[in-house]
Amino acid sequence: MDHQPPAFFNRGPAPLVRLMFFVVLALLLMVLDARFRYTETLRAGLALLAYPFQRIAMAPVQLATGVVGFFSSQVQLQRENDALREKQLRAAKDLVTLEALAAENAQLRRLAEARERLPRKSTLAEILYAGRDPFSRKVIIDKGRMDGIQPGLPVVDDVGVIGQVTRVYPLLAEVTLITDKDQAIPVQIVRNGLRAVAFGAGDGATLDLRFMAANADILNGDVLVTSGIDGTYPPGIPVAKVVRIERDAAYAFAKIACVPAAGTNQHNQVLVLAADDKLPPAPQVEPAQERPVKGKRAKRRE
């Protein structure tokens, strides 16, 4: 039985012959290319024809690499943003601290200058916290009886009067601000020398000039200073400025509102002025002699 393929399926030379042919051809081309550079043009043309197929074959790999690189970049950028945000927050915190320290140093310098201008000796104190009573305007300072603080001493800052020491403890003291409703201070108008008494309004922001006649010579913007007639506050220290005057013919007195000159709710450092040594001692009040009750006298007579 003949198993030879038909004539039209003839495949030409034997595979071994073809292999030898192509090997010899490859060696010949390599020699020619190495010695005479004959295949440079052919190589360039083949590379140009193969370039689109190379791009198509590399597209999935490049796409996958791009996606991975994109997400990696996003993660890296997110980390960098978080680090920069944290760094910015730290820098902002440090900046706020530096600003607070700068403001405190400026306040201390102004207090030092005011300390030289004041006629009395003073003690530098720091406000620790405000009083617990919401209906009073009081603060606690870090100086007390051990530091020579006594009740009644005036408290000022670099601008004006803050208040008065009302209670003293061994290491602390209580200061009642001039805006407290129970606090009063003798004042004098700088423009004309008119004396009055300023009372705290109790709202923590204003003072009232009470018992002033409706036709009193007081104008908006007048500056009030301590008159010194009470012997507690040195004369000439700024207290407040007139901001509102209400005159009504139906009332004998005018309603006059003032704002404090000092930072009663702003600064943490204050000066406690010592007592005036030049003032004479307060007169001693002699105890009144007890008078016998008429009923008891009548009983004794009986």
Entry pTM: 0.61
In angstroms, rounded to a whole number, what is the distance separating the alpha carbons of residues 112 and 122? 10
Please tell me the predicted confidence (pLDDT) of residue 164.
Answer: 93
Please tell me the predicted confidence (pLDDT) of residue 294.
Answer: 54
Please tell me the predicted confidence (pLDDT) of residue 209.
Answer: 92
Please tell me the predicted confidence (pLDDT) of residue 285.
Answer: 55
Tell me which DSSP letter residue 221 carries. Answer: T
Structure-token match 């490049």, residue found? 62
Q: Kindly state the tokens that stand for 191.
A: 């423009």
Please tell me the predicted confidence (pLDDT) of residue 165.
Answer: 94
Give the side-chain half-sphere CA count within 13 A for 5. Answer: 6
In angstroms, rounded to a whole number, what is the distance separating the alpha carbons of residues 131 and 242? 27
Please tell me the predicted confidence (pLDDT) of residue 23.
Answer: 87
Per-residue pLDDT 10s for the chain (302 aa) are 555 555 555 566 778 888 888 888 888 878 877 777 766 777 777 788 888 888 888 888 888 887 877 777 888 888 888 888 888 887 777 777 777 777 777 777 777 777 777 778 888 898 898 888 878 889 999 999 999 999 999 999 888 899 999 999 999 999 999 999 889 999 999 999 999 999 998 888 899 998 898 888 999 999 999 998 888 888 999 999 999 999 887 888 999 999 999 877 777 889 999 887 666 665 565 665 655 555 544 444 44
Please tell me the predicted confidence (pLDDT) of residue 114.
Answer: 72
Query: b or e along 255-289 (b: 16 or more beta carbons within 10 Å of the residue's beta carbon)?
Result: ebbbebbbebeebbbbbbbeeeeeeeeeeeeeeee
Please tell me the predicted confidence (pLDDT) of residue 292.
Answer: 57
Domains of the chain: 12-93 (no CATH), 122-273 (2.40.10.340)
